[in-house]
Amino acid sequence: MPADLAVAEAPALALEMTGISKRFPGVVALNDVHLRLEPGKVHALMGENGAGKSTLIKILAGVYEKDSGTIRIGGREIEILHPSDALKRGIKVVFQEIALIAEFTVAENIFLEEYPVGRGGSIRWRTIRKEARALFERIGFDVDTDARTGALPVSQQQMVEIARALAHEARIVVMDEPSSSLTPNEVGLLFKVIRRLTSLGIAVLYVSHKLDEVFEIADTVTVLRDGRHISTRPIAEHTNDTLIQDMIGRRIETLFPRERGPASDRIALSVKNLSTAAKLKDISFEARAGEVVGFFGLMGAGRTELAKAIVGFDPISGGEISIGGKRLHPHDTRTAVSLGIGLLSEDRKGEGLMLELPVVTNLSLAALEEFARLGLIDESRERAAAQSFVDRFRIRTPSLEQPIKNLSGGNQQKVLLARWLMRGLSVIVVDEPTRGIDVGAKSEIFALIDRLASEGHAVVMMTSEMPELLGLSDRILVMAGGRITESFTREQATQEKVLNAAIG
């Protein structure tokens, strides 16, 4: 869909951002970035994780304040210091994290930003319910508008979030990875919403790293890399390759160095008929020493649930887990760790890091007992061991005493991986190991995972990133609806086959 160049008079820009820079302690997140949105057009903003996409839209939304640069709307320069400033200017941002009040009904959440009120100032609940229902009917999305929002599945919440954009008099709608938790069916609905927005003359900024979606919906593409503006071109001028080239700046193969040999025959982890009350149904698989087993699935397929169940974090309702031939019983993390299995969680802040505590304390947490006699910690041994991991993994930190919150995402992730290696696990479960990590650090994490396998660890990797899955795994297991639906060897697997199996 090339831009319609036949329009006689060039329309005024809906939004113009120029020279935008933003720096955080230790990181230049944005460096002299510019962006121009036209009314009635879909502008895609692309880039790898850490490229600066989120920072840019958070500046637009009034979540962050820019350090320098100007923002113009309809030619007039404006300042956005608070989310309410953005809303007043008609900028509506749909964030990747659900921005809904869980305890409110779907209908109320639609009107969160401006309740319709009657003459006396009372909220007109009937209007809210009626208009919310009409709104969802218009886009053909079937949801109970009187339901408590928090009780809906994540993908439906995301759709509610998107539908909100229609309820306001927005002139600019920004969508941050809106499809990340949607089913293909819902992605169709999403595109319908977007086309409706553009037909009303609204400018849409579509933030994504999914090529097929961008080719389908966007008119223009801007690519960011490492906080810099790389290119802005009509989509028609792009091919898959040129877009990847712009985003990554190098060829994809170099991201996945593969140095390990074939896996051994020794079974390190065996899961038989595993079920949980909430999600998992009859899961069976094995992982051998020296092997990377990749799990793929759409949002809600049960990957994270599986990861948490096999390391004893979440309770199970049936089945058996054995590590190195020994059964995981009782089913708790302490037993799991002592048998040699541990989880690198997808939620680094929530389930991994002790943000205020130093690197060394974070690193040695799981292996602390090895440095202790009668409960007393030998700190010099602890530090020496930590230092050796910092050196080996090339963890960039000024010192072992640095609070870990001051490290970059990639280095934090390396510390958490090192936490498990220090403990000497035989099976390591990694869930979305490169989430929120910049490209350079990503390839380092990939190399580390490869090295773990080559050193004889069994690696179970949960991921939603197709390149990562195909690039790293020896075997690929696909999940849907809490079950394993398909299994592929490295050679058999292709994007299409894996995705089809995931759709179920």
Window 383 to 412, contacts with another protein (CB under 8 A)? 396-399, 401-403, 406-408, 410-411
Which among 455, 448, 481, 486 has a CA at the least distance from the CA of 295? 486
Closest CA to 345 of 437, 466, 434, 432: 432
| Residue 356 interacting with another protein (CB under 8 A) | yes
Tally of CB atoms within 10 A around 473: 25
Q: Which residue has 């490290």 as its token pair?
A: 407
Smallest distance from another protein to CB 271, Å: 18
Which residues in 412-431 contact another protein (CB under 8 A)? Answer: 419
Is residue 125 near another protein by the rule CB under 8 A? yes
Q: Does 14 bind another protein (CB under 8 A)?
A: no
Decide the pairing of beta strands 228-234 and 220-225. antiparallel
- 10 scored as a contact of another protein (CB under 8 A): no
Which of 113, 131, 286, 465 is the binder for another protein (CB under 8 A)?
113
By C-beta, is 260 or 345 nearer to another protein? 345
Which listed residue (21, 78, 104, 228) binds another protein by CB under 8 A? 104
List alpha helices for 25-177, DSSP H: 53-61, 83-88, 106-110, 125-139, 154-167
Among the listed residues 65, 237, 379, 455, the single contact to another protein using CB under 8 A:
379
Dmax (CA) of the chain: 83
Q: Is 78 in the site for another protein (CB under 8 A)?
A: no
Cα dihedral sign, 260-263-264-270: positive
Q: Verify binding: residue 13, another protein, rule CB under 8 A.
A: no
CA dihedral angle for residue 393, residue 489, residue 463, residue 423, rounded to 10 degrees: -40
Which segment (10-18, 251-259, 279-287, 373-381) binds another protein by CB under 8 A? 373-381
Output the CA–CA distances (angstroms, integers) from residue 429 to 183, 316, 421, in the order listed.
Answer: 26, 17, 12
C-alpha 330/C-alpha 414 separation (Å) is: 30
Q: Which of residues 151-180 bind another protein (CB under 8 A)?
A: 151-153, 156
Answer whether 257's CB lies under 8 Å from 463's CB: no
Q: How many CB atoms lie within 10 A of CB 204?
A: 26
Query: How many whole angstroms separate alpha carbon 52 and alpha carbon 389?
Result: 30
Could you say which residues in the range 336-355 bind another protein, by CB under 8 A? 336-338, 342-343, 345, 350-355
Q: For residue 361, state whether it binds another protein (rule: CB under 8 A).
A: yes
- Residue among 177 and 186 whose Cβ is closer to another protein: 186
In the bound state with another protein, the residue whose beta carbon lies nearer, of 183 and 222, is 183
Alpha helices (H) along 115-252: 125-139, 154-167, 184-199, 211-217, 240-248
Binding of residue 332 to another protein (CB under 8 A): yes
Q: Is the N-terminal amide bond of 330 cis, ω within 30° of 0?
A: yes
Candidates 187, 385, 386, 460; binder of another protein (CB under 8 A) is 187
Q: Does 235 bind another protein (CB under 8 A)?
A: no
Closest to another protein by CB, 39 vs 62, is 62
In DSSP terms, 385 is beta-bridged to none
Interface residue with another protein among 16, 67, 131, 216 (CB under 8 A) is 216
* Options 110, 132, 269, 311; binder of another protein; rule CB under 8 A: 311
CB-wise, 100 or 390, nearer to another protein? 100
Q: Is 366 in the site for another protein (CB under 8 A)?
A: yes
Q: Does 358 bind another protein (CB under 8 A)?
A: yes
Using the contact rule CB under 8 A, the part of the chain among 29-37, 142-150, 201-209, 470-478 near another protein is 142-150
Closest approach, Cβ 51 to another protein, in A, equals 12
Site string for another protein, 434-453 (x = CB under 8 A): ----x-xx------------
Asked whether position 493 contacts another protein by CB under 8 A, the answer is no
Query: Does residue number 334 form part of the binding site for another protein (CB under 8 A)?
Result: yes
Q: How many residues bind another protein (CB under 8 A)?
A: 103
Tell me if 330 contacts another protein by CB under 8 A: no
Q: Does 226 bind another protein (CB under 8 A)?
A: yes
CB 309 within 8 Å of CB 317: no
| CB within 8 Å of 182: residues ≥ 6 apart | 155, 158, 159, 190, 299
When binding is defined by CB under 8 A, the residue of 96, 232, 242, 333 that contacts another protein is 333
Q: Which of 210, 233, 266, 451 binds another protein (CB under 8 A)?
A: 210
In the complex, what is the shortest distance from the CB of residue 18 to another protein, in angstroms, rounded to a whole number?
A: 25
Q: Name the pairing type of β-strands 220-225 and 42-46.
A: parallel
Q: Which is nearer to another protein, 51 or 263 (CB)?
A: 51
d(CA 283, CA 477): 11
Residue pair 222/232 in contact (Cβ under 8 Å)? The answer is yes
From the list 471, 452, 108, the residue with the least C-alpha distance to 287 is 452
Q: What phi and psi, each to the nearest 5 degrees, are found at residue 433?
A: -65, -20
139 binds another protein, rule: CB under 8 A:
no
Beta carbons within 10 angstroms of residue 394's beta carbon:
10
From the list 100, 172, 248, 271, which residue makes contact with another protein (rule: CB under 8 A)? 100
